[in-house]
């Protein structure tokens, strides 16, 4: 295998921060090379250097033996390096076709629509993707949107594809399909840099793994030389992982009773369809399902962010079907939202102000119409130390925090009122191992003190590890429950695809 | 060699603070070229501006007088900016505030000074507030763009006032000039130091203090900040964003409306044509320059006051048109907006490398 990309001693600093200290690695043609590292290890910076968004202070890059210095992502793209970002760069109101066309180089002002359509369709067929060119992007699932990003790069004849945590938004089935496509690409001689946190995937797909830690590449291991434990050890190093012990002690008392709930989405389609669920006191109820099968609607209906068109929600004996987000919260439902940056925080305000976002009217934090700044500051100090939030200097806006720390801020805020019910939507998505484990610990500890959790997650391993029961959703309906101690990934996978099963437990 | 533009990861606070100063400095430089083109030595011109505006008691008092409506309107506009609401209609709100105050002064029949003051204040406050409140209602209820609505309503407000002073409110003893009758003494602000400086200026300072406390210390200010930063998160936290949009635009317009009161009760003593010479538009520049702080609004308004007073004297001394002052304001805003680019990106020179 010939060497496609060679990176030598890359160093990149920002004022006061060394983002990349000393990074070296190579990517061969037709290789799937995984970059592994905790949040803040420098993966994103490295990718931004690679695609020309940042310029390294020192170090060299060679592409196919030629020294290169990219000045912009457009520059690197023209040399065959393309990246699928975690946040997609799509125009939601436009069709799939238009979005792809937008990314193409040298499309004439008056273009041959049919020619391009055929060209794109051929690519879609090659990889057996399920994608309709005329659908508007906003109607598509996240998984399908990712295909668009990938097709855009393939049409530009990229030799090196960079995928930044591509499976974070996919279901096991979608991820499996992505992997199939990646292998096909590999056979065509394309190189792939794969960034992921999920150990199972790293083990499955990688030819080689380079571990980043604190801005340096500390090891590159070939397939056969690495296993999950070695990698985790390298990645975390001396850092401590919070320990937690799960004990089953759920009572039979039903704390939340969802009866025949229906809700419609923006497109007028049923997101929740005659959905029923019972949550018991102190249990962690995992919800499994392919993305877009009503999980988000369920969470929003429970937390009052979405109107319910039919059915009822009871908390104990109280009907809480029709209440605003605020009154639901008072009834004791906490919520970790899916998209933490877009609805979880006010990015320009500091940690202290974000921590009181839901309780600012509480008499604890105010004196009449005035805010009690001292109490707010004390509350922040307390939460920052209790939840191990790395918050930066006092008063600095939350948007400068890492994803893991932002998630901790949200969790600290949501759990501080000792809610009776927690609805957590993908709470560990995009987090490093340390932060994810910490959040698991918080949820399990909460269950120990009587909090019931509805945990919606995409990682089946996570669900199996944490849940007392797993409920499987399909097209807005409850397909059935599974017992994590006696079920298998395959069985849940089948249920996720709509295979009916007797509702047991 | 290659010029490269790259995004800064964290924009520095130092840059953020120096940007307005640098913008003003560069604007001074460019305005200097304009003055030079008019055949005048720019250094002489600037010295003249400074001397006229702050070199004497008279000049200083005139500067404060000019700054007064700017502080009010600037505070109003910047309050809305805090919530990412763009109130471009301070000009119209000033007119409406002046109209409300005039109505009370001329037609309410009140004679007690303090009663009149309070009633005039309330009338100006409510008129300015409701005028902006229309945009607030439209925005909150039907997502109508507030920029368009507030801007368009400026013309309505000015024409409405024109109608009143040419028609029903025209002073019968005014020799057919388009003016209302003069206010009685009880309806006038107090003057100080034998100058035109009036209580409106101190009211403006007090207003700035109140607004600062409102934004930084009250739960309402807190909600405005959260909504401004992320409306979705605010809704999710149970804040009523629609109500807040209306309330903020109302308050924003109300404060601008008080500028109208201060002009008619402190300076003109009647409602007449052109009571605001674009103060509402200058307020937008002021709010932008001041970024987020009430103190900033005061400082920038004083600077603008210097410019207006000095600009007047340039006109008298060298027949330099007053348009020069507006050109200068425009230059400042232009460079300020431009400086945002340098706050977010850095430009680098890369040497001796081959790139794509």
Q: Of all residues in chain A, what percent carry a pLDDT higher than 70?
A: 89
CA distance A195 to A209: 10
The pLDDT of residue A389 is above 50: yes
Is position B6 within any domain?
no
**Optimal mutation site among A49, A357, A366, A374, interface B, most CBs of chain B within 10 A:** A357
Chain Cα centroid distance, residue A373 = 34
Alpha helices in chain B (DSSP H): 13-37, 42-54, 57-82, 90-107, 113-142, 146-166, 199-217, 219-229, 231-236, 241-263, 279-289, 294-318, 323-344
Inter-residue contact B92 to B158 (CB < 8 Å) = yes
Interface contact flag, A360 B223, Cβ < 8 Å? yes
For strand B2-7 and strand A270-280, is the pairing parallel, antiparallel, or unpaired? unpaired
| Residue ranges making up the domain that contains B269 | 44-319
At A504, the pLDDT band (50, 70, 90 cuts) reads very low
**DSSP 3-state percent helix, strand, coil across chain A (nearest 5):** 35, 25, 40
Q: What is the pLDDT of residue A72?
A: 83
How many CA atoms are closer than 13 Å to the CA of A79, on its beta-carbon side? Answer: 23
* More confident call, A493 vs A262: A262
Inter-residue contact B221 to B292 (CB < 8 Å) = no
Q: Which of A7-16, A62-71, A122-131, A492-501 has the highest mean pLDDT?
A: A62-71
| Tokens (6 digits) for B306 | 């210097």
All residues of chain A having their beta carbon less than 8 Å from the beta carbon of residue B217 are 370-371, 373
Q: What is the pLDDT of residue B1?
A: 58
Using the Cβ of B229 and the Cβ atoms of chain A, whether some distance falls under 8 Å is answered with yes
Q: Which of A317, A308, A325 is nearest to A414 (CA)?
A: A325
What lies within 8 Å, CB to CB, of A233 at 6+ separation is none
The pLDDT of residue B354 is above 50: no
CB atoms within 10 A of CB A278: 18
**Optimal mutation site among A12, A57, A323, A346, interface B, most CBs of chain B within 10 A:** A346
Is position B293 within any domain?
yes
Interface contact flag, B236 A337, Cβ < 8 Å? yes
Is position B353 within any domain?
no
Chain B closest-CA separation from residue A16 CA (Å): 11
Is position B114 within any domain?
yes
Chain A closest-CA separation from residue B7 CA (Å): 7
The pLDDT of residue A127 is above 70: yes
The pLDDT of residue B132 is above 90: yes
The pLDDT of residue B313 is above 90: no
Interface contact flag, A53 B7, Cβ < 8 Å? yes
Q: What is the pLDDT of residue B3?
A: 66
Is position B331 within any domain?
no
Look at the block and give the residue holding tokens 């200290």.
Answer: A21
Q: Which of B85, B64, B69 is nearest to B252 (CA)?
A: B85
Q: Mean pLDDT over residues B259-268, rounded?
A: 93
- Average pLDDT of the residues of chain B: 87
The pLDDT of residue A245 is above 70: no
What lies within 8 Å, CB to CB, of A154 at 6+ separation is A123, A185
At B249, the pLDDT band (50, 70, 90 cuts) reads very high
Q: Phi then psi for B189, rounded to 5 degrees? A: -70, 160
CA distance B205 to B196: 17
Q: What is the pLDDT of residue B23?
A: 81
Interface contact flag, B356 A347, Cβ < 8 Å? no
Q: Mean pLDDT over residues A151-169, rounded?
A: 85
Q: Phi then psi for B123, rounded to 5 degrees? A: -65, -45
Interface contact flag, B356 A71, Cβ < 8 Å? yes
Is position B30 within any domain?
no
Domain count for chain B: 1
All residues of chain A having their beta carbon less than 8 Å from the beta carbon of residue B9 are 14, 17, 19
What lies within 8 Å, CB to CB, of B295 at 6+ separation is B208, B212
Using the Cβ of B9 and the Cβ atoms of chain A, whether some distance falls under 8 Å is answered with yes
| Tokens (6 digits) for A298 | 């369920």
What lies within 8 Å, CB to CB, of B319 at 6+ separation is none
At B353, the pLDDT band (50, 70, 90 cuts) reads very low
Is position B324 within any domain?
no
**Lowest-pLDDT range of A119-128, A398-407, B38-47:** A398-407
* More confident call, A341 vs A331: A341
Q: What's the CATH code of the domain at B82?
A: 1.10.3470
Q: What is the pLDDT of residue A499?
A: 65
Interface of B with A in 331-350 (CB under 8 A): 348, 350
Q: Of all residues in chain B, what percent carry a pLDDT higher than 90?
A: 42
Interface of B with A in 293-312 (CB under 8 A): none
Q: What is the DSSP letter of B245?
A: H
Interface contact flag, B219 A369, Cβ < 8 Å? yes
Q: Rg of chain A over CA atoms, in angstroms?
A: 24
| Tokens (6 digits) for A35 | 């970059």
Q: What is the pLDDT of residue B214?
A: 93
At B252, the pLDDT band (50, 70, 90 cuts) reads very high
Q: Mean pLDDT over residues A58-86, rounded?
A: 87
All residues of chain B having their beta carbon less than 8 Å from the beta carbon of residue A369 are 218-220
- pLDDT tens digit sequence for B85-125: 999 999 999 999 999 999 999 988 888 889 999 999 999 99
Interface contact flag, A345 B233, Cβ < 8 Å? yes
* More confident call, B355 vs B16: B16
At B355, the pLDDT band (50, 70, 90 cuts) reads very low
The pLDDT of residue A505 is above 50: no
Chain A closest-CA separation from residue B230 CA (Å): 5
Q: What is the pLDDT of residue A329?
A: 55
Q: Is the ipTM, as predicted for this complex, more than 0.85?
A: no
The pLDDT of residue B143 is above 90: no
What lies within 8 Å, CB to CB, of A126 at 6+ separation is A184
All residues of chain B having their beta carbon less than 8 Å from the beta carbon of residue A72 are 4
| Tokens (6 digits) for B170 | 């025209």
Inter-residue contact B157 to B93 (CB < 8 Å) = yes
All residues of chain B having their beta carbon less than 8 Å from the beta carbon of residue A69 are 350, 353-355
Alpha helices in A1-95 (DSSP H): 43-50, 73-78
- pLDDT tens digit sequence for A394-426: 778 888 777 778 888 888 888 877 788 888 888
Is position B246 within any domain?
yes
At B209, the pLDDT band (50, 70, 90 cuts) reads very high
At A331, the pLDDT band (50, 70, 90 cuts) reads low
Q: Name the CA dihedral angle for B125, B130, B136, B142, rounded to a multiple of 10 degrees.
A: 170
Inter-residue contact A170 to A196 (CB < 8 Å) = no
Interface contact flag, A71 B348, Cβ < 8 Å? no
- pLDDT tens digit sequence for A262-276: 887 665 556 788 888
**Lowest-pLDDT range of A35-39, A345-349, A351-355:** A35-39
Residue A352: closest CA among chain B residues belongs to which residue?
Answer: B222
Interface contact flag, B236 A343, Cβ < 8 Å? yes
Dihedral angle sign, alpha carbons of residues B153, B155, B158, B162 = negative
Interface contact flag, B354 A55, Cβ < 8 Å? no
Q: Count chain A–chain B contacts defined by CB atoms under 8 A.
A: 103
Q: Which secondary-structure segment (H or E) carries A191?
A: strand A191-195
Interface contact flag, A67 B229, Cβ < 8 Å? no
Q: Phi then psi for A190, rounded to 5 degrees? A: -80, 150
At B136, the pLDDT band (50, 70, 90 cuts) reads very high
Q: Of all residues in chain B, what percent carry a pLDDT higher than 70?
A: 94
pTM confidence score = 0.72
- pLDDT tens digit sequence for A216-242: 888 888 888 887 777 777 776 655 555
* More confident call, A154 vs A18: A154
């Amino acid at each position: 295998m010939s060497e496609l990309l060679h990176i030598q001693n890359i160093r990149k600093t920002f004022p006061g921060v060394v983002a990349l200290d000393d990074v070296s690695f190579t990517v061969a043609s037709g290789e799937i090379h995984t970059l592994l590292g905790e949040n803040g290890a420098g993966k994103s910076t490295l990718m931004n250097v690679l695609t020309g968004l940042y310029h390294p202070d020192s170090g060299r890059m060679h592409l196919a033996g030629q020294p290169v210095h990219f000045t912009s992502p457009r520059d690197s793209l023209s040399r065959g390096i393309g990246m699928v970002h975690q946040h997609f760069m799509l125009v939601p109101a436009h069709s799939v076709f238009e979005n792809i066309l937008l990314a193409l180089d040298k499309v004439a002002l008056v273009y041959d629509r049919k020619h391009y359509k055929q060209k794109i369709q051929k690519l879609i067929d090659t990889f057996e993707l399920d994608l309709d060119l005329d659908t508007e992007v906003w109607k598509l699932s996240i998984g399908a949107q990712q295909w668009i990003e990938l097709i855009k790069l393939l049409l530009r004849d990229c030799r090196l594809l960079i995928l930044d945590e591509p499976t974070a938004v996919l279901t096991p089935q979608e991820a499996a399909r992505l992997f199939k496509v990646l292998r096909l690409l590999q056979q065509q001689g394309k190189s792939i840099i794969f960034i992921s946190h999920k150990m199972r995937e790293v083990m499955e797909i990688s030819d080689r793994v380079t571990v980043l830690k604190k801005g340096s590449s500390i090891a590159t291991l070939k397939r056969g030389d690495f296993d999950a434990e070695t990698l985790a050890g390298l990645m975390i190093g001396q850092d401590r992982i919070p320990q937690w012990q799960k004990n089953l002690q759920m009572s039979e008392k039903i704390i939340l009773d969802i009866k025949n709930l229906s809700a419609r989405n923006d497109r007028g389609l049923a997101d929740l369809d005659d959905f029923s669920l019972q949550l018991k006191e102190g249990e962690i109820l995992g919800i499994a399902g392919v993305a877009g099968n009503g999980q988000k609607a369920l969470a929003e209906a429970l937390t009052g962010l979405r109107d319910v068109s039919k059915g009822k929600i009871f908390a104990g004996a109280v009907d809480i079907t029709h209440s605003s987000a605020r009154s639901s919260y008072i009834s004791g439902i906490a919520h970790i939202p899916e998209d933490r940056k877009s609805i979880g925080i006010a990015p320009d305000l500091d940690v202290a102000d974000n921590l009181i976002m839901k309780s600012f009217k509480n008499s604890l934090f105010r004196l009449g119409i005035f805010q009690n700044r001292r109490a707010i500051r004390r509350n922040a100090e307390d939460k920052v130390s209790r939840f191990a939030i790395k918050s930066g200097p006092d008063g600095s806006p939350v948007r400068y925090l890492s994803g893991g720390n932002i998630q901790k801020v949200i969790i600290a805020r949501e759990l501080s009122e000792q809610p009776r019910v927690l609805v957590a939507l993908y709470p560990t998505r995009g987090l490093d191992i340390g932060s994810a484990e910490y959040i698991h610990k918080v949820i399990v500890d909460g269950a120990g003190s009587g909090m019931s959790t509805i945990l919606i997650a995409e990682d089946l391993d996570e669900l199996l590890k944490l849940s007392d029961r797993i409920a499987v959703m399909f097209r807005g309906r409850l397909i059935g429950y599974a017992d994590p101690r006696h079920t298998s990934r395959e069985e849940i996978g089948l249920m996720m695809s709509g295979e009916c099963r007797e509702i047991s437990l | 060699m290659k010029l490269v533009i790259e995004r800064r990861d964290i924009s520095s606070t130092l840059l953020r603070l120096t940007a307005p100063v640098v913008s003003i400095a560069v604007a001074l430089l460019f305005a200097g070229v304009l003055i030079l083109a008019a055949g005048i030595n720019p250094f002489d011109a600037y010295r003249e501006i400074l001397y006229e505006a702050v070199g004497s008691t008279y000049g200083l008092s005139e500067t404060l007088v000019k700054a007064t409506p700017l502080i009010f309107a600037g505070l109003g506009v910047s309050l809305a900016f805090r919530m990412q609401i763009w109130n471009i209609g301070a000009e119209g709100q000033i007119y409406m505030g002046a109209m409300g105050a005039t109505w009370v002064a001329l037609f309410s029949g009140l004679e007690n000074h303090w009663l009149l003051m309070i009633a005039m204040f309330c009338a100006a406050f409510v008129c300015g507030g409701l005028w902006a409140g229309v945009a607030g209602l439209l925005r909150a209820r039907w997502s109508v763009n507030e920029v368009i609505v507030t801007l368009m309503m400026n013309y309505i407000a000015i024409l409405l006032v024109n109608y009143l002073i040419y028609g029903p409110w025209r002073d019968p003893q005014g020799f057919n000039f388009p003016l209302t009758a003069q206010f009685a003494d009880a309806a006038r602000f107090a003057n100080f130091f034998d100058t035109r400086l009036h209580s409106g200026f101190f009211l403006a300072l007090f207003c700035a203090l109140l607004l600062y406390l409102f934004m930084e210390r009250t739960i309402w200010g807190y909600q405005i900040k959260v909504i401004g930063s992320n409306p979705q998160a605010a809704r999710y936290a149970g804040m009523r964003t629609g109500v807040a949009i209306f309330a903020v635009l109302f308050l924003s317009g109300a404060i601008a409306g008080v500028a109208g009161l201060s002009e008619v009760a402190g300076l003109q003593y009647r409602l007449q044509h052109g009571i605001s010479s674009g103060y509402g538009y200058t307020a937008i520049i002021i709010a932008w320059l001041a970024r987020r702080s009430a103190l900033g609004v005061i400082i920038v308004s004083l600077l603008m006051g210097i410019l207006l007073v000095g600009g007047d004297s340039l006109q008298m001394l060298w027949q330099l048109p007053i348009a020069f002052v507006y050109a200068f304001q425009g230059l400042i805003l232009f460079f300020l907006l431009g400086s945002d680019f340098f706050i977010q990106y850095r430009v680098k020179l890369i040497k001796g490398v081959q790139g794509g």
